[in-house]
Chain A
Amino acid sequence: MFGGDDDAAAHTESIRARLREMKVSTLKRRAQSSDRELYNLGITFTVYSDRDAIDRVLPFDVIPRVLSRDDWSHIERGCIQRVAALNRFLHDVYHEQHILKDGTVPAELVLRNSNFRSEMKGLDLPHGTYVSICGIDLVRDGQGVFRVLEDNARTPSGVSYVVENRHLMMRAFPDLTGNVGLRQVSNYGMHLQAALAEIAPPSVSDPNIVLMSPGVFNSAYFEHVFLAREMGVPLVEGRDLVVEDDCVLMKTTGGLRRVDVIYRRVDDAFLDPEQFNPKSMLGVHGLFRAYKAGNVSLANAVGTGVADDKAVYAYMPRIVRYYLDEEPILQNVDTHLCREPEGLAYTLAHLDELVIKPVGESGGYGIVVGPKSTRAELEECRARIEKDPANYISQPVIDLSVCPTLIDGAIEPRHVDLRPYIVTGKESWVLPGGLTRVALRKGSLVVNSSQGGGTKDTWVLE
């Protein structure tokens, strides 16, 4: 195993050499004990059925995904560039709207977008940072080029797995992780805390930061706990906060305490029943008033969803050039917009070759992979597109790169993607590596945890 393959990348040679000395049965045994540890640690996400809430462990593959220093430096620069462009774009669409007025991006694509929050117009944010935490999904195509599949500029999740996976690997494979020159990931909490402090209202010198969670029933609750703990900040729910005189206060045993920065893991719509969804039980009355008055900062800002929309995505290369006057370092996947006549015609003519994605969905739901669909499924897809073309985009099937993966006691290739995390206060910092998701089903290209995906530890070499 791991040997004799001419295609294997040179930078992984020392790691492959160590793995070669390990028996598959050893690997399997350690994998099982890692799984048990994840379960015991309660590093789980919750799946709700009609009757029960079941805690599931996200499957973890013990064979790491290794990135060379050069590849990483390319990705890192590309991600920082992209986040800079996203922030400039958001500032513009909530202020002068130059990019819409001169037609570089169609105005109605932004203004009619359900994630566009007109309440944000004219609001100035510290450092112009709208997207403090960004997760950019990358895939590597057949030519070995990393391409952006999706920007996640609302509340990207999964970073807790990156850190926990590494801890797990260090415990289970001390013989593999030692002395390979691995960039560390365990300082994520410190970087995040520092970035959040930077976006605090400028008048505050020692800001009080809190993490706001929808609560214990949220499927990502483990991650909320993890982040609060890693940053050393209180974990709160909406009911723990009140707004008085346009200031956000937190209930404590000693009375009310001022809150300056909220890393919220609650969607825009549920943040403040006064401003948004009036039925929200998760939010805080008057939070948006306090935000608008500049008395509290939110990460991410309200209204960032308009930038990670799948239709806006297609314009990202143009957005990068427009604001930064630079060529995009990371390429998009070619994208056909069904809202445009040429895009629609092309998509309908090549349905069986394309991946069709609804614009508003996340978690891999609603995706149709043309070459893997039956004729009936394609016809159903065609009908849906024709009914509401603007809701769909299509992309060529990317032959996602593969990584060796332990499947039932054998090593097999499985498709992977990569989600680096970019943390931005005044400036951007990228967590070395990010989350590698792996499609455990043979041949599958869908890596989402809700669709049979697992994760790997991602190693960036020094």
Chain B
Amino acid sequence: MERAENLARILDVNETFARDEQGANDWLPILKLHRDEEAFFERHKEATSENVVRFYILDSENPNSIIYSVKAARENARSIRHLVSLETWMQLNVFYNWVASLTARNLRLSELSRLCGRIKEGVQLHSGIVTGTLYRDQVWSFYRLGVFTELADQITRLVDIKYHALLPSWQDVGSPVDIAQWNALLRSVSAYHGYRRVFPARMTPTTVAGFILLSPRFPRSLTHCVSNIEKTLDELLTNEDLADISFPRDSLETLKELTGRSPDDVIRGGLHEYLDEVQVALLAFGDQMAATFFHVH
């Protein structure tokens, strides 16, 4: 569900903000972001807005599409339906049926922003219902761990690719296009207003990337995710059923060290290298979770 929301955000923002000087949209960066160029061009000749939007919303064979993600979420919920609340299941079921009923007509550019809005709302409704109804036992802890790990993964990917895309125009820092791109990045993750409150007058790559990744108050930031992962994990391990479990904390410690750095240090040491380290640690953390609690090796 988090993936579906992120896709909706990215499609929406790309349509609204990411225009070049001529005012035309460039949809290639979205494909790059998800490393989907190959899969996409097997099916489509050109990265037109119609093709890309369709690929990411309705293509049920694309594992990075909204329909694919929502369907997977529904199937997962179905297999643990006795653990989630009735309301959770019902909303997910209705939401999936709605997404599955969308047709090309619903994807017209004039409708896109509204459509992405509804998708986002669907996911937000989902997380609200889960928060309001899920029984607070292990299931809740694992749910939160999953959500924050996924969010952390997405935010690092997003910053990585956007940052790369923006590098060629590095010398144009402060130019209208550049500002528009940073704007788009901030808005795509709902960080714009928070950022403005902290930095009313400045917009540099360091402050933007630093805010999105490291602000402890921005709810989608890496720092926020990691500190919630730690909190949730500690809570989970106090469960008496899990008294015999020992969880290796090394990857979590790495993540904490990484999110403890200052934005300047991060940029100076190379943002891409930094994000790579984060990704490796997140992956290791996920593997340790699977091995410890679900005996998956």
Contacts and interface: CB of A to CB of B under 8 A. Distances in A.
Interface stretch (A64-72, A196-204, A246-254, A324-332): A246-254
Contacts of A255: 244-245
A41 interface: yes
Of A42, A229, A234, most buried by chain B (CB within 10 Å of CB) is A42
A235 B86 CA distance: 16
B182 interface: no
A235 B93 CA distance: 20
A41 B88 CA distance: 10
Interface in B83-137: 86, 89-90, 93-94, 97
A228 interface: yes
A254 B79 contact: no
Nearest to A42: B93
A254 B245 contact: yes
A26 interface: no
A41 B93 contact: yes
A301 to B, nearest CB: 24
A170 interface: no
A253 B242 contact: yes
Nearest to A257: B241
Interface string B61-84: 000000000000001001101100
Nearest to B236: A253
A179 interface: no
Contacts of A251: 295
Of A40, A215, A225, A253, most buried by chain B (CB within 10 Å of CB) is A253
Contacts of B94: 40
Given A216-B75, A253-B241, A41 B81 contact: no
Dominant secondary structure of chain B at its interface with chain A: helix
Nearest to B93: A42
B41 interface: no
Given A253-B241, A253-B294, A228 B93 contact: no
A302 B224 CA distance: 54
A264 to B, nearest CB: 16
B244 A254 contact: yes
Given A41-B93, A253-B138, A235 B82 contact: yes
A234 B81 CA distance: 11
Dominant secondary structure of chain A at its interface with chain B: mixed
A238 B239 CA distance: 26
Interface residues of B, number: 22
A184 B93 CA distance: 28
Given A42-B78, A216-B78, A235-B82, A254 B295 contact: no
Nearest to A230: B82
A62 to B, nearest CB: 20
Interface size bracket, A side: 10 to 19
Contacts of A39: 97
A174 B295 CA distance: 49
B293 interface: yes
Contacts of A234: 82
Contacts of B93: 40-42
Interface string A150-165: 0000000000000000
A86 B243 CA distance: 46
A41 B82 CA distance: 13
A149 B75 CA distance: 38
Contacts of A40: 90, 93-94, 97
Contact of B79 (A42, A216, A229, A252): A216
A39 B100 CA distance: 14
A229 B241 CA distance: 21
A447 to B, nearest CB: 27
A37 to B, nearest CB: 9
Nearest to B94: A40
A229 B242 contact: no
Contact of A254 (B81, B97, B242): B242
Interface in A233-272: 234-235, 251-255
A225 B90 CA distance: 14
A417 to B, nearest CB: 29
Interface string A3-40: 00000000000000000000000000000000000011
A235 B79 CA distance: 9
A234 B90 CA distance: 21
Given A40-B90, A41-B93, A42-B93, A253 B75 contact: no
12 contacts: A40-B94, A41-B86, A41-B89, A41-B93, A42-B90, A216-B75, A216-B78, A216-B79, A254-B243, A254-B244, A255-B244, A255-B245
What 6 A-B pairs come out closest when comparing CB atoms? Answer: A254-B241, A228-B82, A225-B81, A253-B293, A229-B82, A42-B93
Interface of A: 39-42, 215-216, 221, 225, 228-229, 234-235, 251-255
Interface of B: 75, 78-79, 81-82, 86, 89-90, 93-94, 97, 138, 142, 239, 241-245, 293-295
Given A40-B90, A41-B93, A216-B79, 4 more contacts: A216-B75, A216-B78, A229-B81, A254-B242
